[in-house]
Amino acid sequence: MVKRKRTTPLSDEHVEPGHCSSELRARILSDVPYFKGLAAPALDAVNHYFRAFNYAAGAALHHENEPAEALFLVAHGTVKLLQYSASGEEVLLDLLGQSDLFGGLTMLGQRCYPQNAFAQTPCCVLVITITDFRYLLRTYSEVALNVLDAVARDLEAAQATIRAISTLPVEARIARVLVRLADRLGEADDGGILIQSPLSHQDLAAMEATTSETVSRVISGLRRSGDIETGRQWIRIRNRTNLARLAGEI
Amino acid sequence: MVKRKRTTPLSDEHVEPGHCSSELRARILSDVPYFKGLAAPALDAVNHYFRAFNYAAGAALHHENEPAEALFLVAHGTVKLLQYSASGEEVLLDLLGQSDLFGGLTMLGQRCYPQNAFAQTPCCVLVITITDFRYLLRTYSEVALNVLDAVARDLEAAQATIRAISTLPVEARIARVLVRLADRLGEADDGGILIQSPLSHQDLAAMEATTSETVSRVISGLRRSGDIETGRQWIRIRNRTNLARLAGEI
DNA sequence: CGCTATTTTGAGGGCAGTCAAGCTCCGTGG
DNA sequence: CCACGGAGCTTGACTGCCCTCAAAATAGCG
């Protein structure tokens, strides 16, 4: 057994203050699927409207029920999107990584942010005002189609989560979330996929409508059967196939 | 107590075969929020690409995992959007009414429908191919923005459902779904809001991750406390405020 | 090298699901 | 018109999954 002593993954990754300069911003933006295929002048216009901000781990980017003024695009790092229940429990709606869009997406009327966003790791986020974003969408119809597509995909994902929470037992739901995280944020690694993100059992619980104690029990079971290895705030998937089967994804 | 003898609401509503003629189609389309404010010629173009279809109650409009070729817009009646779990239980994701859009929303790559759609009442649906729809979005940027907005709102609704299922006890979830249905599909009525839709307890159960027996128990409780009146396949909300409070919406 | 957050494990209880039976309404056909 | 059948609804008893509460063990940080 590989006894891997690990500090939290954060410590390796530093976002230097000047990291998101204009040139780097342009490079990042040109890699973002929404803007892919845009001609150079259009890309310059897009670049012009975005501002880059760095956030420390744990910093709040926006809160539920505040008037939505901006739209955010993750350039580097990961962001937690969550809501709170009346009694204060967290519900983790999504973990966002590179190129994901969030914030004030519904733009008609003076709407509010529908969730709370926190930097999970130190991160660099590109920000645009809703007004400017609307202008971009109106001007570059390619972009509008791409963004629509992304939001529709998020909707599908949310509905898949509803189905999972509605019909699957806890063990299956946790297997499911591990597979999704491995695919979205994981990194290939000797003999497995390392989920490179400071995820506590509390976070996993908040993603799949359960409690940290239950997550711990299920995770222990998966570790015993050799499908995963775990430590504090990290998990390595050793047998993705097995997890996917447990999750009911055949 | 008003003993209201009621046949299923369907019997009053008939969609005649030729109901969705070109002129009527134009009238309906001009009322659809997505196309509101479009100039007459643009509206004509939009009208040109849609075809109208009538469906009998229970008819299937499209199935999960079939290649998505079309996009649907409800002109009249209601449509059930649902998924099945591995063991065959239904999960009712949404009930769609007038002007709601569904079907092949994610358009990049050759995608499949993410859910199953059935006519809940006899209904008239306007259908457009994805290719034509993309053309419209590209040409009329207003439309693209409106559609994006609608999808983003659906995403918010789905996330609100996730929160509800994750954190609220059954009674609150059922109160919640009643309030939502009253607001979306209800009709003002002597001393209440009548939910005019052939909804079984089974359907309500499938919307909020519970069982028809439990729905029955909760509904009975609400009836005893005078907040609602019920019969076979219909419910009248008498005290919306009370239900909203139960649902944790203060 | 203690301190704190995270994880683990155990015991117990409760909410809601399951199974089962009876009831009610409504459409249908004799 | 009435009897019948079946779908939908109601109610009860029991069960079990998972949450809750509690406490100990572990890991990483200052």
From A93, A134, A141, residue closest to B137, measured CB to CB = A141
Q: How many CB atoms lie within 10 A of CB B71?
A: 22
pLDDT digits (tens, 9 = 90+) for A66-108: 999 999 999 989 999 999 998 889 999 999 999 999 998 887 7
What pLDDT shows up at residue B18? 45
Which is nearest to B156 in space by CA: A105, A180, A134, A108?
Answer: A105
For the cut 70, the answer to whether the pLDDT of residue A164 exceeds it is yes
Interchain CB distance below 8 Å, B148 and A137: yes
Distance A218 CA to D18 C1' (A): 12
For the cut 90, the answer to whether the pLDDT of residue A31 exceeds it is no
pLDDT digits (tens, 9 = 90+) for A193-244: 999 788 999 999 999 999 999 999 999 999 999 999 998 889 999 999 999 9
| pLDDT band of B120, cuts 50, 70, 90 | very high
Distance B170 CA to C15 C1' (A): 9
| pLDDT band of A12, cuts 50, 70, 90 | very low
Higher local confidence (pLDDT), A88 or A5: A88
Distance B233 CA to C26 C1' (A): 12
What pLDDT shows up at residue A20? 61
Average pLDDT value for chain A: 88
Alpha-carbon distances, residue A144 vs B26, B68, B143 (angstroms): 25, 20, 10
What pLDDT shows up at residue B21? 67
Nucleotides of C under 7 A from a protein CB: 6-11, 15-20, 25-27
Higher local confidence (pLDDT), B5 or B95: B95
List the single residue in B with minimal CA-CA distance to A250. Answer: B86
Does nucleic acid strand C have an atom less than 7 angstroms from the CB of A230? yes
Note whether A48 contacts B: Cβ–Cβ < 8 A: no
For the cut 80, the answer to whether the pLDDT of residue B24 exceeds it is no
What pLDDT shows up at residue A13? 43
For the cut 80, the answer to whether the pLDDT of residue A43 exceeds it is yes
| pLDDT band of A33, cuts 50, 70, 90 | confident
- Average pLDDT of the segment spanning A116-134: 93
Q: In B, which residues are within 8 Å of A215 by CB distance?
A: none
For the cut 70, the answer to whether the pLDDT of residue B1 exceeds it is no
What pLDDT shows up at residue A21? 67
Q: How far apart are CA A54 and CA A56, in angstroms?
A: 7
- Average pLDDT of the segment spanning B234-244: 94
What pLDDT shows up at residue B19? 54
Positions 164-223 of B with beta carbon below 7 A from strand C are 169-171, 209-211, 213-214
pLDDT digits (tens, 9 = 90+) for B70-99: 999 999 899 999 999 988 899 999 999 999
- Work out the minimum CA distance from A237 to partner chain B, whole angstroms: 24
Percent of chain B with pLDDT over 70: 91
- Work out the minimum CA distance from B107 to partner chain A, whole angstroms: 6
| pLDDT band of A7, cuts 50, 70, 90 | very low
B196: left (phi over 0), alpha (psi -120 to 50) or beta: beta
Distance A35 CA to D22 C1' (A): 53
For residue B214, which nucleotide's C1' is closest to its Cα?
C16
What pLDDT shows up at residue A1? 32
Alpha-carbon torsion (B204, B209, B212, B218), positive or negative: negative
List the single residue in B with minimal CA-CA distance to A113. Answer: B156
For the cut 50, the answer to whether the pLDDT of residue A9 exceeds it is no
Q: How many CB atoms lie within 10 A of CB B77?
A: 22
B146 sits in which H/E element: helix B141-167
**Residue A106 is encoded by which pair of tokens?**
């519904």
From A85, A106, A152, residue closest to B167, measured CB to CB = A85
pLDDT digits (tens, 9 = 90+) for B126-174: 999 999 999 999 999 989 999 999 999 999 999 999 999 999 999 999 9
| pLDDT band of B20, cuts 50, 70, 90 | low
Burial (CB < 10 A; 0-12, 13-18, 19+), residue B8, is middle
What pLDDT shows up at residue B42? 87
